Structure 1
Amino acid sequence: MKHHFFLFLFLPLWGMSGLLSAQEPVRSDFNMFRANDTIVKQQVEYKDPGKQGTGILWDFGKLKTVDSKYTVVYEQTGDSLLSGTEHHTRYYYGLRNDSLFLTGYENPTTKVVYDSPELILRFPLKLGDKAEGYYRGSGSYCDKLDIKAYGTSSSTADASGMIILPGGDTLRHVTRVRTTKLVSERIAPLLPDTIITSVSDSTKQLPVFSVDSINYFLQGDTSVLVVDTYRWYAAGYRYPVFETVSTGNYSTAAKTEYFTTAFYFPPDKHAYLKTDRKNTSLQAELLEKDKTENANKNDSGNNVDGSVVIDNMEFTYNYYPNPVESQLNFEYCLSKDAKVSFGLYSITGLMVYRSPVKSLRAGTYAETIDMGYYSRGEYILTIMVNNKPSSEKIIKK
């Protein structure tokens, strides 16, 4: 069954040397939205979010700006509701115990109330934690069409590491949260007694659909939308510092991509920090902690939160996409000068690609491998730094 979608996406939301310290969880007292905060966002070119895990390097430093005039404004709209306005749409949120929910949204054409609200985050969310749930909402489009929306939402803290932002800032103690949302919408003529005048003032109690009912609607709809959102939270900042969004058609066989975009939250524009003592204190605490760890680091040859320490040098890296169709991208950061090479091997151990050994200075680098003509299957990417290997499994599709 094919439907039209009237979906308005929720898009809120130091130096390079030293060891990566323990990842900080996303917590309500440090990361919950606050009334009267205005957040500056810049839309930038999309880039694949890369792999999951610990000790990851995300280099978004070269992305070009698409739209620099973009803000999100948070306001108190009731005793238990907080709203965030962006792109001419107001989203309503509620914090219940340890969980943040989306309870509805409205704009000049569309109003939707969630009787089974959408779970956004569950606090605290530390690396490896997952929060998931089902949601259902009802509303109207232009006071002429009735909208019924059903779906699922799942958020996972899937990676930690350091991030290089489009403005050149490098931030540590970064946690990435991936949210995958499925949306099915049904549109019908609007009956006069079902018109919703205001999301925030609506007290109408709608029947709560069971999980089985929502699954039934999702399985019967061939045009279910999947929204994949990655948000990077840096310890000491209440709101994300970077975000990517991709949407597509979801099915058991494949995902057809519709569009992709990304947003950058410039650290120097986080004006809310002037009144956010918790986060400014955390920034100062982590800065001192980094200095101490940097002074005490030694040639352990082991992993520290996934960041490989080789010859008293920190080596962080990232690769994408995986699975790969044609070009495999590989990015890495060296805290000291080193000799680097990398190779690609079939699952049986046959070498199919090898780069020359390079003597590199401390810094950030990027490489690519053209896998367009490789056979489908599994490969092993091996990175040699000062003759010490690190390996990752790559899937060619």
Structure 2
Amino acid sequence: MKAGLLVFLMSAGFVLPVCGQLNTLHNHFRPGDVLIKQQVEYVDPGNSGVNKIWSFSRLKTINEEYTLRYDSPPLEGDSIYILGDNRYKKKDTKDNELIVGTEHNTMYSYHLTHDSLLQMGHENPSVKLAYTSPIVLMHFPLNYGQTTTSDYKSEGLYSGTVHIRTQGTMTTTADAYGKMILPSGDTLSPVLRVKTIQTIFDIPDKDSYTTDETNNAGKQLETCRWYSKGYRYPVFETICNINLADSTEIFKTAFFFPPQDHLYLDTDPDNQALLDELWKGTESDMVSKEGKTVTLEDIMVCKLYPNPVESMLNIEYELEEDAKVSFELYSIEGMPVKRIQAKLQKAGIYCETLDCSSLYPKNYVLRITANGMFVNEVVIKK
């Protein structure tokens, strides 16, 4: 990579675990993965920072289904990959190093090299564009507070005859961290937000690589993507295109990637393992105590009502002995939704309530835990 192409800035002190980090193992594109996106109403992505709460629960759906697919590039013969105008020997290419993403009749070309994800160009029936100096989308691993900045240049054709030449800067920042409420009503936490800001200026003529900002104010494309532990791809995305001459919006939109439609997880053991951690507690609903096998039912009897529930779920339980008790509500996909923090209770009868009024109508799982043992009960939200 040429000197000056990539500036990698690390903020002091913020290096979070995998839930606050994007890395090649868990987040790089894979050939064969297909994602379903729903176009929803645009929402302001909000400010950067930590402990943020994003609520996208009341957004109206505009288009039920878009498809985004990732594939390996086509082969010339059986030994050369074709990626835009570039050729790569298959024997010298690593797995998943070259990727083509197809969305909205547009193909985007990507190259992972030296832990940097480069965008090499894109093409559709109207435009074919190659980045003569590639866009650096991000550098792996990407932790909260880190920024990648690169300059780029591109050349191409519009309608096969009109020459296009642009230049600009791409800045990618993992700028926010917190939890989000999805359009489905589910809650995801922790969530890492990654913001990209791309400036786009036309190059007036072939001999000039300078930008006259008076005559060529250009455009700015701001994209925010929210990533959650256990999901290779974003779960939400906002896009806003701005005319830099007068700061007017050219267009803006948003997309929701329903977690239940992330079918690639069936063949993604690395991310499935992260999701499975959400369900980790004890390995069994029984323990050995003074040479006897003790189950949760031996020390606790629990009753849930009403179920199906419309607003408030009542949890009545009786303890036969002192116990540390907690309740956690999960979506069927394994995402935590609500929680009653663990309490050390004396033997006796107790009642707790969970407010389910804001939940999306569907089935959930309530995990009831006492002294390290647990059982799961289905809760139906109507």
Matching residue of 2:289? none
- Call closer, same or farther: CA 1:334–1:84 in 2, change over 3 Å: closer
- Segments ≥4 residues shifted beyond 2 Å: 20-24, 78-81, 185-188, 218-223, 285-290, 333-337, 361-365
Cα distance in 1 between the residues matched to 2:17 and 2:23:
17
Structure number with bigger Rg: 2
Q: What TM-score, normalized by structure 2, do the two folds share?
A: 0.62
2:261 counterpart (254, 269, 273): 269
User: Is the 2:19–2:228 contact (alpha carbons within 8 Å) kept by the matching residues of 1?
Assistant: no
* Secondary structure of residue in 1 paired with 2:145: coil
Question: What RMSD in Å do the two structures reach over aligned CA positions?
Answer: 3.0
Matching residue of 1:34? 30
2:145 counterpart (128, 133, 145): 128
Kindly state the Cα deviation for residue 250 of structure 1 after the two structures are TM-superposed: 1.7
Matching residue of 2:219? 225
Matching residue of 2:119? 102
Cα distance in 2 between the residues matched to 1:218 and 1:182:
14
- Call closer, same or farther: CA 1:283–1:85 in 2, change over 3 Å: same
* Secondary structure of residue in 2 paired with 1:58: strand
Letter in 2 for 1:250: L
Kindly state the Cα deviation for residue 255 of structure 1 after the two structures are TM-superposed: 2.2
Kindly state the Cα deviation for residue 139 of structure 1 after the two structures are TM-superposed: 0.7
Cα-to-partner distance string for 1:191-237 (whole Å, 9 max, x where unaligned): xxxxxxxxxxxxxxxx9x9xxx76x3163543311011100000100
Letter in 1 for 2:268: D
Matching residue of 1:378? none
Kindly state the Cα deviation for residue 273 of structure 1 after the two structures are TM-superposed: 0.2
User: Is the 2:18–2:229 contact (alpha carbons within 8 Å) kept by the matching residues of 1?
Assistant: no
Cα distance in 1 between the residues matched to 2:212 and 2:99:
29
Structure 1 unmatched ranges of 5 or more: 1-19, 189-206, 291-332, 338-360, 366-397
User: Is the 1:57–1:161 contact (alpha carbons within 8 Å) kept by the matching residues of 2?
Assistant: yes
User: Is the 1:43–1:66 contact (alpha carbons within 8 Å) kept by the matching residues of 2?
Assistant: yes
Matching residue of 1:151? 168
User: Is the 2:189–2:228 contact (alpha carbons within 8 Å) kept by the matching residues of 1?
Assistant: yes
Does 2:103 align with 1:86? Answer: yes
Cα distance in 2 between the residues matched to 1:98 and 1:260:
31
Letter in 2 for 1:246: C
Letter in 2 for 1:239: Y
- Call closer, same or farther: CA 1:21–1:59 in 2, change over 3 Å: farther
Does 2:172 align with 1:172? Answer: no
* Secondary structure of residue in 2 paired with 1:223: coil
Matching residue of 2:241? 247
Cα distance in 1 between the residues matched to 2:252 and 2:182:
18
Aligned length: 258
Cα distance in 2 between the residues matched to 1:281 and 1:334:
22
What does 1:314-329 align with in structure 2 at a 5 Å threshold? none
Matching residue of 1:66? 62
* Secondary structure of residue in 1 paired with 2:25: helix
Cα distance in 2 between the residues matched to 1:135 and 1:85:
22
Cα-to-partner distance string for 1:122-156 (whole Å, 9 max, x where unaligned): 11111100001011110111121011011100010
Q: What TM-score, normalized by structure 1, do the two folds share?
A: 0.60
User: Is the 2:57–2:183 contact (alpha carbons within 8 Å) kept by the matching residues of 1?
Assistant: yes
Which structure dedicates a bigger proportion of its chain to strand?
Answer: 2
Matching residue of 1:141? 158
Matching residue of 1:185? 202
Does 2:274 align with 1:278? Answer: no
Matching residue of 1:234? 228
Structure 2 unmatched ranges of 5 or more: 1-15, 74-80, 82-92, 283-336, 342-353, 359-382
- Call closer, same or farther: CA 1:139–1:187 in 2, change over 3 Å: farther
Kindly state the Cα deviation for residue 185 of structure 1 after the two structures are TM-superposed: 2.4
Letter in 1 for 2:53: L
Cα-to-partner distance string for 1:2-60 (whole Å, 9 max, x where unaligned): xxxxxxxxxxxxxxxxxx99842011110001001111000000111112111111110
Matching residue of 2:250? 258
Does 2:49 align with 1:53? Answer: yes
* Secondary structure of residue in 1 paired with 2:142: coil
- Call closer, same or farther: CA 1:143–1:50 in 2, change over 3 Å: same
User: Is the 2:203–2:211 contact (alpha carbons within 8 Å) kept by the matching residues of 1?
Assistant: no
* Secondary structure of residue in 2 paired with 1:274: helix
* Secondary structure of residue in 2 paired with 1:219: coil
What does 1:329-344 align with in structure 2 at a 5 Å threshold? none
